Amino acid sequence: MNYTSATCVIALAALALAACSPSAPVPAEPTPVPEVGKPVEPAAPPAPDVSNLPAGTYTTDPAHSALIFRVNHLGFSNYTASFSDVKTELTLDPAIPETATVTAAIDLASLTLPAPPKGFVDELLGKDWLDKKTTPQMKFESTGVTKTGPATADIVGNLTLKGVTKPVTLHATFNGGYAGHPMDKHARIGFSVKGALKRSDFGVSLGIPVPPSTMGVSDEVTFEIETELSGPEWKDPGTPTPPAQ
């Protein structure tokens, strides 16, 4: 018997003795294995504590916000870009989120691309694509909010681009917030948002592949928003007043 075999025998013997020992811990119940082919449902986010959050108007904190979008390129990758100038105004009563309203304006000139070829940004902002000269902003205005879970909601609204207005649904997750902090005299809340749209609905049809080909750029555009918003000034009399700024 070589050294490796002897080591394995000793280890197995030790495990057997441990299993027979009266003081050995009871093995934990095995983790259920999901059925093959059946998707595992993600756990729902816990209900957030909103008891101390004030109702009022919240606006984008640009230092902690980003809007990223993706389109499929040739069937090979999801081309990713962003807009850096997004101004949002949210009117919210955290105790009754269904009554919330939100408006947003995206400055098309803030389009940011990874290593764009010369002239490519100007091409995308031209009349065949986003047409910044005619409509310099993309705008969203909510028409309704529906809770879908303890910390999630669907925000339905109208998106306007190139003079065309179409309904779009935003799937939002509330990540938390506070009423104020000694280093931040305003309330703060944060959200993660996802959605999708068809660019052809807004008159941006150039380069859409003709099925079954994937040669071009997809009609579907998916987007994600990570954002924090600043709200009413902290006025909690039971907490030390935050320092003036």
**Tens digits of per-residue pLDDT, 132-144?**
999 999 999 999 9
The number of folded domains in the chain is 1
Query: Is residue 198 a part of any domain in this protein?
Result: yes
Query: Is residue 203 a part of any domain in this protein?
Result: yes
pLDDT tens, residue order, the chain (245 aa): 444 444 443 343 333 333 334 444 445 556 666 666 667 776 766 777 888 999 999 999 999 999 999 999 999 999 999 999 999 999 999 999 999 999 999 999 999 999 999 999 999 999 999 999 999 999 999 999 999 999 999 999 999 999 999 999 999 999 999 999 888 999 999 999 999 999 999 999 999 999 999 999 999 999 999 999 999 998 765 565 454 44
Query: Is residue 14 a part of any domain in this protein?
Result: no
Query: Is residue 25 a part of any domain in this protein?
Result: no
Query: Is residue 46 a part of any domain in this protein?
Result: no
Which are the contacts of 157, defined by CB distance < 8 A and separation ≥ 6? Answer: 102, 140, 141, 142, 143, 144, 167, 168, 170
Query: Is residue 5 a part of any domain in this protein?
Result: no
Query: Is residue 24 a part of any domain in this protein?
Result: no
What range does the domain containing 105 cover? 56-233
**Tens digits of per-residue pLDDT, 53-68?**
999 999 999 999 999 9
**Tens digits of per-residue pLDDT, 117-161?**
999 999 999 999 999 999 999 999 999 999 999 999 999 999 999
Query: Is residue 82 a part of any domain in this protein?
Result: yes
Best CA proximity match to 170, nearest among 193, 149, 192 = 193
**What is the C-alpha to C-alpha distance for residues 197 and 200, in angstroms, rounded to an integer?**
9
| Structure-derived torsion over alpha carbons of residues 57, 53, 63, 191, reported in degrees to the nearest 10 | -90
User: Residue 171 is part of a domain; what is its CATH number?
Assistant: 2.40.128.110
